[in-house]
A and B are shown apart, each in its own frame.
Chain A
Amino acid sequence: MSDQESEEREQELRVDSVRVVRLGHGANCSSIGSVVDTLFLSAVLGGAVLAAVLAAMKKEPITVIGSREGASATEDPDHDEPSP
């Protein structure tokens, strides 16, 4: 038996090598092509979570430290700079 024949025999699909045969969309395919739609769905779901968090955020009170001892202010919740 030549090396090529033995190599081909090794590459042959044997019945006991098959663990499971799946039915349905993209079944039995390990290529990324079969999961691109799922990949896009996960991106959309991730975007939905991000959008929900951003839309549901509440105003954050700003605590001013150091200007006056023990003083805190909640004048403008979304103000970047602390009030003097």
Chain B
Amino acid sequence: MDVDGAPCKHPRAVWLRVLFLAMAVLTAGVAYAQAPPASFFAGRSNDELRALARDPKNDVLLRRGAATKLVITLADDRAFDDAEAAGREFAKNVDALAIRHIVAVRRRSHVHVVALLALGVTLAFALAALSLAAAHGSLAAALPAVRRVAPVFLFFLGYMGLVGGGMAESYENSSSLPFALFAAFMLPLVVIFRVWSAVGSPALAARSLRGIAAVAATLALGFLVVEQVNPAYLEGFGL
């Protein structure tokens, strides 16, 4: 019907206009509802992110992105209580990934402390044994023992650093740095362990304890290296 009551001459045209109008509104709505890119949140302070996440006038995806970024940032800053509080505050509109991130980073921080302790205690005992041996003048006698096994651990560490690193490097997003650094730090460690075993007690209990300490220190070193270089490697193991 026209305005004056006469039937519309082109009813299909009207429906087409309505259809186009609906499509335009829908497109605009979808565009408006699209989550902002990560760069939108980059450089924003926690207060700004919190304000964005709280403002009910903001789009739901914008609030969700801001809340997720806030929780992840707080967790990365080791402010676990604040991160969990933010997670609870925005529980209805936060990415579940952020909550899992808090758990993972908290667990990683505990493992970090344990790794430092394991490495520190092992090195302290080893260096104490080496100092005692040096005081008794028996340290030099341990050097031939190192020389005998040197080809074995040089081959192993070289293989690990070059072949393992080369394989990792061949993948587009990976780096050989964790392998190279681990091999480099392992070199003095295995020398110390061999000297320690050469100057230490040959009793079975002492040898077993040295072995356990060496395993703990090596695992700790591996964790610390990969944590510094590329923590993404740890995500596969729940850390």
Contact = CB atoms under 8 A, between A and B. Distances in A.
Contact of A47 (B144, B173, B222): B222
B114 interface: no
Nearest to A25: B236
A65 interface: no
A64 B81 CA distance: 67
Interface stretch (A1-9, A12-20, A72-80): A72-80
A11 to B, nearest CB: 23
**Interface extent on A, as a size class?**
20 to 34
A43 B170 contact: no
Interface string B149-190: 100110011001000100110111110001100100010011
Nearest to A81: B144
A80 B156 CA distance: 23
Query: What does DSSP make chain B's interface, helix, strand, loop or mixed?
Result: helix
Contact of B219 (A44, A54, A55, A57): A44
Given A33-B173, A57-B149, A79-B144, 7 more contacts: A36-B167, A37-B234, A39-B168, A40-B164, A40-B168, A48-B215, A59-B198
B36 interface: no
B213 interface: yes
B215 A51 contact: yes
Interface string B214-232: 1101110110001000001
